[in-house]
Structure 1
């Protein structure tokens, strides 16, 4: 080899090969290397290039040609990389575009051949030479806490030529390898669009989780990584526009990264130094094989996926029903029956949104979800009574004018009326409206869901308590299960849905996902018989007031007193355990509720107390300020979802949303 100017041979002058040729010619003009020739596939292409270039053009790779160069630059379609590299390594050093091969076994063979023949083998993982990557290494290289990474490497659909997305778009696998200097300990992937659009989840040591979307979709070109660091800092890297946005403590800083030299120039300069023996740190055959391994593992076909849904409440049961069309579903419930906790201890409003005068977003969510719920469970909805809302004269967080304005804005029908003073004291309210809001009959709904589960052949596992979950190297989830009848077992699943509500953070702890900032409330819902001939529902808004709702078709009512119904609020690691213990021994506050609410409802003097339901409510701590109760679906990666339910009416919409992220046909 020339010790000053390496001699290189270029194979391939297609779309990206032309870019390589341009950079090589630039480096040759700077006397940094010498181009010994270009190899093309056809004689026609040879004649065409000979008219344009003052460089030898060949159509054959011969031992003589290879022995007279220092390095060969392979820029051909990736299915040819393995065979070409294998052919060349006995004679010359190789730079091969990514991926090094289509299979990990082939990639490892090439790495062994390079060692055997004492040749350097560099793989063209160009994004590690991107200026944005170099800047990221300085920003996150020394971070020791948890990191959550989300990324997209997406190209317009009209550029798709049948490539494998995990191989063609594996750039970020290498960027992470370069930045983190660690190998993933768990790899899992699934297609969002058959063969074209893929989602890959990677777990690295030191609590680093990554979710990447790769492939071709719509008319989009996106090259983006977002790093959420423990402590609150967020770093968003835009590789297309060479911009990094850094957000910390609510302040955002934008860094524009200089794109000189370009990624390709930096990469080929690095290869020149490799040829001269000056660079020992480069993506070699073993690096390339690691990337192929991730790509191969992330596209392993799941012929019939297995789903685990943990929690047999309304949300868990409906989600299990919806997922049953995609694969085998197991629904795990720790109790002897379904819908025994928050789905049972509930006032069962078929919400229209009046309740949430301080949260228009919650109203919008309810309106969207209504059609979905009614299309499945219309028979369980009781509509044969009026529902009233009243605005208190004192201590209300919303005025009559504001409430009516919101109803008009959100399209909520109402009619102003007056109720008998025994039912509602007119001296205590400034407005009363009649609405068409209904309630849900719990027993009817439960019966319908039980029939659906049986009809969809969901494996309902009652008395099965999930006691732990492990993320395996394959990305599968192994559930440890304790049986109420005695004994224990374990099962593996491809997808897991956490619908445990109050226990949702336990799921995150098992799988080492970030937990939500939650508070738990021990709430009492009194069950009473009211001295009313015809059933009605009535709620005074918005503040420390009262509400009562018919309990299905039983003739009874659920009664709530906003301040007195909440017995205790707790946060922290042991909060749920403490409240659950208290739930079993807490005494009713009905007499205090009755006494306090007499000023609004004089008829309560003749009300008959039947009993109480005690339940632990779970909400995001930030939702206290605006009364929001949205249903939140969190995708953790690795086929794992958590549902933090808000209103019963959103159950079907949530189930469809989760199933929609798995069902490939939605993007076809």
Structure 2
């Protein structure tokens, strides 16, 4: 570990799951010894890594994007193997196909599952009776899991400490530039008002919705981004729905997923979960919009509509809501694909921006990093930097 005022091998911006996993990868697999991870919150995995459906995808969600579905099938068993302490499998997952206005029929869904080699079987009679038969064409049992983000946060804290990564919380990055000594410079505002500039060889921008919002020489990502301010309701389910996760698709679209971090279920709805949406532009910081939003819940409308398909949900008890900014690549709005964004910034050699839409996408990111040639600092370079910046 090196003091923060020395030149670093890498600065990671963002202490979500991706930022933590990339920092651990660089230390473990690529020989980086001088890494600083900067996070604006008071702890790791506090934003999008926590405020989501906590779903470990297995492909079923993406019948209109074979590539995304197939990558989920490849990545799920790897995720279960690598983070077993965080994965919850002790529930039954049902996918139901809407009889009206669905973009996929039950037969098409079955065929799609076979194409990606995803387990599927007919639901039991008791499970089918949970649904309104006039609105549901068919119901299937599948294999899909949930994750506990608090367990992932504990893993991240322990892993980064073990590899000597400096984790600096309540640290807001304001700019990325190229310094006169050819090092990348990361401008940081700490919670105590202290301002500083960290010098490094590599920068990894893992800020999710904040990817574009830095000053200095950083020009932003080339791919258009759409931001959504979303609400997922946290529910306590009635006995009839205990031990289940349920998704109705694909037009009428809602999900009830276990949320292990709170011992509850998230309820999300295609119409009522998104409260606002806008094209990402420099100067409109998504996290500022989130902080200023009044957060009036739409849970009544969610429950009322879901209750038409799944009457037992009318007996669920609302507990709380998770509000967050969701970021989607604009080029994939039409097909529901969730590829990663992995961009090397030509104006700032050594600077990378990374975005993934699902937690299992981390393996796609790590495969990209495997292809990169990295050169960690040598002792001689560190010594010369001390002299120059003495």
Given the two structures, how large is their TM-score scaled by the length of structure 2?
A: 0.87
**Which residue number in structure 2 is paired with residue 565 of structure 1?**
273
Task: Specify the SS of the correspondent of 1:356.
Answer: coil
Question: Are the counterparts in 2 of residues 308 and 332 from structure 1 also a CA contact under 8 Å?
Answer: yes
TM-fit CA distance, 1:485: 2.1
Within 5 A, what are the aligned runs for 1:596-607? 596-607=305-316
Structure 2 vs 1, CA of residues 510 and 526 (structure 1 numbering), >3 Å: closer, same or farther? farther
Picking from 529, 535, 550, the partner of 2:258 is: 550
Picking from 295, 313, 323, the partner of 1:586 is: 295
**Which residue number in structure 2 is paired with residue 312 of structure 1?**
15
Structure 2 vs 1, CA of residues 583 and 422 (structure 1 numbering), >3 Å: closer, same or farther? farther
Task: Specify the SS of the correspondent of 1:353.
Answer: coil
Picking from 138, 145, 156, the partner of 1:431 is: 138
Within 5 A, what are the aligned runs for 1:331-480? 331-418=37-124, 419-420=126-127, 423-480=130-187
- Say which structure is richer in helix: 1
TM-fit CA distance, 1:469: 1.3
Whole-angstrom CA distance in 2 between matches of 1:422 and 1:554: 28
TM-fit CA distance, 1:368: 3.1
Within 5 A, what are the aligned runs for 1:77-88? none
Mapped pair 1:329 → 2:32? no
| Aligned length in residues | 362
TM-fit CA distance, 1:581: 4.4
Deviation digits for residues 204-241 of structure 1 (CA, Å, limit 9, x no counterpart): xxxxxxxxxxxxxxxxxxxxxxxxxxxxxxxxxxxxxx
Q: Which has the higher contact order (CA 8 A, sep 6+)?
A: 2
Task: Specify the SS of the correspondent of 1:451.
Answer: helix
Structure 2 vs 1, CA of residues 420 and 404 (structure 1 numbering), >3 Å: closer, same or farther? closer
Note the residue ranges of structure 2 that are not aligned, 5 or more in a row. Answer: 1-6, 376-390
Task: Specify the SS of the correspondent of 1:412.
Answer: coil
- Higher mean Cα deviation, 421-430 or 443-452? 421-430
Question: Are the counterparts in 2 of residues 365 and 630 from structure 1 also a CA contact under 8 Å?
Answer: no
Within 5 A, what are the aligned runs for 1:465-544? 465-507=172-214, 510-532=217-239, 534-544=242-252
TM-fit CA distance, 1:584: 3.8
Task: Specify the SS of the correspondent of 1:598.
Answer: helix
Picking from 628, 641, 645, the partner of 2:337 is: 628
Structure whose CA Rg is larger? 1
Whole-angstrom CA distance in 1 between matches of 2:79 and 2:43: 22
Whole-angstrom CA distance in 2 between matches of 1:631 and 1:508: 24
Whole-angstrom CA distance in 1 between matches of 2:171 and 2:285: 20
TM-fit CA distance, 1:642: 0.8
Deviation digits for residues 388-436 of structure 1 (CA, Å, limit 9, x no counterpart): 1111000111111111111111111100114546632222111211112
Question: Are the counterparts in 2 of residues 477 and 492 from structure 1 also a CA contact under 8 Å?
Answer: yes
Structure 2 vs 1, CA of residues 510 and 426 (structure 1 numbering), >3 Å: closer, same or farther? farther
Question: Are the counterparts in 2 of residues 498 and 507 from structure 1 also a CA contact under 8 Å?
Answer: no
Task: Specify the SS of the correspondent of 2:243.
Answer: coil
Structure 2 vs 1, CA of residues 577 and 406 (structure 1 numbering), >3 Å: closer, same or farther? closer
Structure 2 vs 1, CA of residues 482 and 443 (structure 1 numbering), >3 Å: closer, same or farther? same
**Which residue number in structure 2 is paired with residue 647 of structure 1?**
358
TM-fit CA distance, 1:486: 2.1
Structure 2 vs 1, CA of residues 342 and 425 (structure 1 numbering), >3 Å: closer, same or farther? same
Structure 2 vs 1, CA of residues 508 and 378 (structure 1 numbering), >3 Å: closer, same or farther? farther
Question: Are the counterparts in 2 of residues 579 and 616 from structure 1 also a CA contact under 8 Å?
Answer: no
Question: Are the counterparts in 1 of residues 94 and 123 from structure 2 also a CA contact under 8 Å?
Answer: no
TM-fit CA distance, 1:595: 1.1
Whole-angstrom CA distance in 1 between matches of 2:352 and 2:140: 40
Structure 2 vs 1, CA of residues 305 and 658 (structure 1 numbering), >3 Å: closer, same or farther? farther
Structure 2 vs 1, CA of residues 607 and 569 (structure 1 numbering), >3 Å: closer, same or farther? same
Structure 2 vs 1, CA of residues 578 and 507 (structure 1 numbering), >3 Å: closer, same or farther? closer
TM-fit CA distance, 1:578: 8.3
Task: Specify the SS of the correspondent of 2:271.
Answer: helix
Structure 2 vs 1, CA of residues 467 and 384 (structure 1 numbering), >3 Å: closer, same or farther? same
Whole-angstrom CA distance in 2 between matches of 1:648 and 1:464: 24
**Which residue number in structure 2 is paired with residue 82 of structure 1?**
none
Given the two structures, how large is their TM-score scaled by the length of structure 1?
A: 0.52
Question: Are the counterparts in 2 of residues 522 and 566 from structure 1 also a CA contact under 8 Å?
Answer: yes
Note the residue ranges of structure 1 that are not aligned, 5 or more in a row. Answer: 1-303
RMSD of aligned alpha carbons: 2.2
Question: Are the counterparts in 1 of residues 211 and 221 from structure 2 also a CA contact under 8 Å?
Answer: no
